Amino acid sequence: MRRVAVVGGGVAGLAAALRLVEAGRGIEVLLLEAKDRLGGTIASEGTDGFLIEVGADAFFTEKPWAQALCERAGLGDRLIGTRPGDRRTYVVHGGRLVAVPEGFVLLAPTDPWTVAASPLFSWPGKLRMLLDLVLPRRSDDADESVAAFVRRRLGREALERVAQPLVAGIYTADPDD
């Protein structure tokens, strides 16, 4: 029997271990994780009767592979869906939850009217975002961080109030990396 060690019990490590187990073929899988729990940067914690997500808290069910992986791992019945009418994204601004304007797609505003009506941005911030419509594209194709791109195209406010919280919440990453 062959022995395979999978290092890391985050989503990628768990998916790799599951695939090896499913493949069978006389493979003994050893999953190594430094922390006292699996899941990597993804976790749910119960506090005062509330479920609080730590790290990335969601995946797009429109991408069938993520849901299929949960089903194969025996976690399908533990997925908590959202109600269609409540599918909004919120960020904390000024100490309260504020909805990200409906027209934001992939960190960029697609509907100037919803951005204009949003309390999330100052008027100078809103005007700065609108400059994206007329700013020329970069002439080179050098690598650029998400933060540098958003700052250059949409301004500091869009970075601080939308891109940073969403990138951190969805990808558990720093947009400056």
Q: Which fold has domain 2-84?
A: FAD/NAD(P)-binding domain (3.50.50)
Question: Where, residue-wise, is CATH 3.50.50.60 in the chain?
Answer: 2-84
- Beta strands of the chain (E only): which ranges? 2-7, 27-32, 43-47, 50-54, 90-93, 96-99, 104-105, 108-109
pTM assigned to the model = 0.60
Alpha-carbon dihedral of residues 65, 68, 70, 71, nearest 10 degrees? 180
In contact, 174 and 153? CB cutoff 8 Å: no
Question: Where, residue-wise, is CATH 1.10.3110.10 in the chain?
Answer: 88-171
Spatial neighbors of 77 by CB under 8 A, at least 6 apart, are: none
Tens of each residue's pLDDT in the chain, 177 residues = 899 999 999 888 999 999 999 988 889 999 999 999 888 877 788 888 887 777 665 666 666 888 888 888 888 888 877 777 777 788 888 888 888 888 777 677 888 888 889 999 999 999 999 888 888 888 888 888 989 999 999 999 999 998 888 887 777 677 887
End-to-end Cα distance, the chain:
41
CATH superfamily, domain 88-171, is protoporphyrinogen ix oxidase, domain 3 (1.10.3110.10)
